[in-house]
Structure 1
């Protein structure tokens, strides 16, 4: 926050009201004048670093929550939306966004809501994509971390650990004794198209034999969350105020999956292991009996106040570059939010070497630098002769924060990085030999007497 002006008067006002304070009383606590606080709340003065420190010391909150509460999610979130090709010809810079937030916060919030309601695709379909967009917006609002759900899962994990060293066995026993549910592994011929089924008549959680051990543990923990975390999930779903039933059910499914992962990888133990191993993904998989994708997603959620992990983002794509999962966590990375993918990013190269971890230092057009880790994953449930699905999971971290990673050893994080974009339609690099289309809103320049690195040269600068 120190490198830019932060206008968050609405968040300061909300914090003051939550604590039942008048402006004069809060100003006294912060050792500033009531008139200055009034200017801050009206977005006529930015929050200084000193005032941020005083707020953090005087009230129990995370300073980064001020950005999360800004209209539209703040400057970074608005900038991500404005990378949409439909805005390419406007060339809106960071200063304009800051002025927008400071001068018309309501308008910025209205734009963000309208854009999100349009499903980030330009048409208000009201269909599945709109529901996914709503859920992603709610997850982003929480920075991917649900504190109450995480704390409950950690308490449950501690109880399971006392009962048995085998997490799966302990969950199965808890389901049987406490909830009268038994787990039964069924042949693929019995569950040909399902991986998990709850049979309430037989009081069975039925799992497919095609699931590996990590997926069986996750499925059992997921079912446990449906029962023991119901109150917490209900509260979060109700608080989200999602517009339709489909979005709410998607959000509930995400929360149940969050609980399951938190049981398998309890927060404090998992964070200690991350820091002790340099976030070594293979070691974390083995230590917690989890899959690569499960560990990758868990890394994006480590945002507990007072015990934060590194702010990773995660994206999962198919060979066509279509994203089926995107979690920006606290990273605010455009790589997680962009609709397009750059072919120079090794996320897509991971398909050439299945199961191997590809490490790459990349630089975006805004000069931000990211260390990315990519690897393929194969979904559970495939039978011999069936269609083989395959995805690439990409993890990323700002290069300036990646020095402690095991995967960063031997890499000069301040050295040469691969210049990439956010997909050709949102990329304005003139010298890219991989370009497949001009940027949206830019006209092609055709010259019969010259031929550049790419035939798709464009103007508009």
Structure 2
């Protein structure tokens, strides 16, 4: 046995046995801390730590002790890197859809050696992508596999990435909106009247308000040929103003919008159309709430959403969106994050300018007061929260109801949540209503390491479970300790 171990402790090229990631996975699987495993192996904790980080090779003596103590097959630890898996992952990472950058084979070997399960998951993901690509080629006649992959990407994700890269600020649209705001003298003129007149005089278009049973399942429809912009009677005054402002943006600044879309270099028709609509919405909000005037009012009113909505004749949700766009370099507002959640917990919109991050998939933490806002319509719920990284934030949330509701078809309800780093809290009126210590929250249950949380709905991804039938903690899940 000792001879076989000595042979295995070095590979065929005479290299030392560095198996840190495998050793760490074994310890985690057994539910042991580094201190406990070191004691059982008769070595120091620092030596075990160095071995797990591949800074010290494992000796034959320690390898034998591992085998005897935990009754494991030495091949689990000493077998060489899976050459077949290396080849499969290397081939997958050479796919043209991943771009021109190539991952060296040495790095692929490192990935497989350190985390074979992750490598296998990537290979399986590539297989699924290939199957989807081939199906799209058959069904849609795509010419290239890369095109098929891009076509499969959700347009919402592609557009959201553009918004993040630009910090949700488009200077050329903001300044164009400010200029038109002055031209129309919207500070003194009732906006709805002025916007309707603009559509008629400049674009030869009549704005009509039609019964909802005529505009079935539709709130706005622009008919260029007949020169009509039809709006549903279900739209309140604030939404009517916004829809007309949107259409003005599409008509008067389409060239500017198209340049931004072209620069974004989006791969699909749907994503380009969605970005174009998003930019026209941006212009519409900027026209009704021009940057300089709106920022000044926001600072004076301490970012009171309801007060700002009354001043500019907009909805609370429109104000919340606009507050996240105040990123002009020479005149910045408070860097706010924004999320919109439905009653089932689905996130339909999210944006962050600071360190606060939202998960790409899944809901939000159940301990965040944003969920309670559904039971408190028209009232902002204020809460300070602390993320696992120790950063603290002021957050506030309120329920909003969208346009378009009738008795037969009630309008959609959402909760919008905003927040900022606690360092900016004093600039917001909501900080006046803070009380108590910050609530510890996380991104969501899958990504949160707060193992004792009583609200946990799922175990965190990649964390080993350690159920103990003798005890029941605050959380319904029990986990192996980490060093």
Q: Give TM-score scaled by structure 1 length.
A: 0.71
Deviation of residue 127 (structure 1)? Answer: 5.7
Matches within 5 A, 1:12-411: 126=150, 130-161=154-185, 165-328=189-352, 330-335=353-358, 339-411=362-434
Distance change (3 Å), C-alpha of 1:176 and 1:404: same
Which secondary structure state, in structure 2, belongs to the residue aligned with residue 376 of structure 1?
Answer: strand
Deviation string 1:87-146 (CA, Å, 9 cap, x unpaired) is xxxxxxxxxxxxxxxxxxx899xxxxxxxxx9xx99756567622111111110000000
Contact 1:153 1:266 in 2 (8 A): yes
Give the distance between the partners of 1:177 and 1:312, measured in 2 at CA.
38
Aligned-residue CA RMSD (Å): 2.3
Match of 1:93 in 2: none
Give the distance between the partners of 1:128 and 1:255, measured in 2 at CA.
23
Aligned length: 343
Deviation string 1:213-252 (CA, Å, 9 cap, x unpaired) is 1100000000000111112101100100001111111100
Deviation of residue 331 (structure 1)? Answer: 2.0
Contact 1:278 1:404 in 2 (8 A): yes
Which secondary structure state, in structure 1, belongs to the residue aligned with residue 369 of structure 2?
Answer: coil
Deviation of residue 411 (structure 1)? Answer: 2.8
Contact 2:350 2:358 in 1 (8 A): no
Deviation of residue 200 (structure 1)? Answer: 2.1
Aligned with 2:461 (options 440, 444, 459) = 440
Distance change (3 Å), C-alpha of 1:107 and 1:391: farther
Match of 2:140 in 1: none
Distance change (3 Å), C-alpha of 1:233 and 1:460: farther
Distance change (3 Å), C-alpha of 1:449 and 1:371: same
Which secondary structure state, in structure 1, belongs to the residue aligned with residue 446 of structure 2?
Answer: helix
Deviation string 1:166-203 (CA, Å, 9 cap, x unpaired) is 11111111111111011010011110211001122321
Which secondary structure state, in structure 1, belongs to the residue aligned with residue 397 of structure 2?
Answer: strand
Structure 2: which 5+ residue stretches go unaligned? 1-100, 104-121, 130-148
Contact 1:442 1:460 in 2 (8 A): no
Give the distance between the partners of 1:440 and 1:335, measured in 2 at CA.
16
Deviation of residue 204 (structure 1)? Answer: 0.7
Give the distance between the partners of 1:155 and 1:336, measured in 2 at CA.
38
Which secondary structure state, in structure 1, belongs to the residue aligned with residue 393 of structure 2?
Answer: strand
Q: Give TM-score scaled by structure 2 length.
A: 0.68
Deviation string 1:12-36 (CA, Å, 9 cap, x unpaired) is xxxxxxxxxxxxxxxxxxxxxxxxx
Give the distance between the partners of 2:152 and 2:315, measured in 1 at CA.
28
Distance change (3 Å), C-alpha of 1:360 and 1:337: farther
Deviation string 1:356-392 (CA, Å, 9 cap, x unpaired) is 1111100000111111111111121122221442111
Contact 1:373 1:396 in 2 (8 A): yes
Deviation string 1:384-417 (CA, Å, 9 cap, x unpaired) is 22144211111111111111211111536xx610
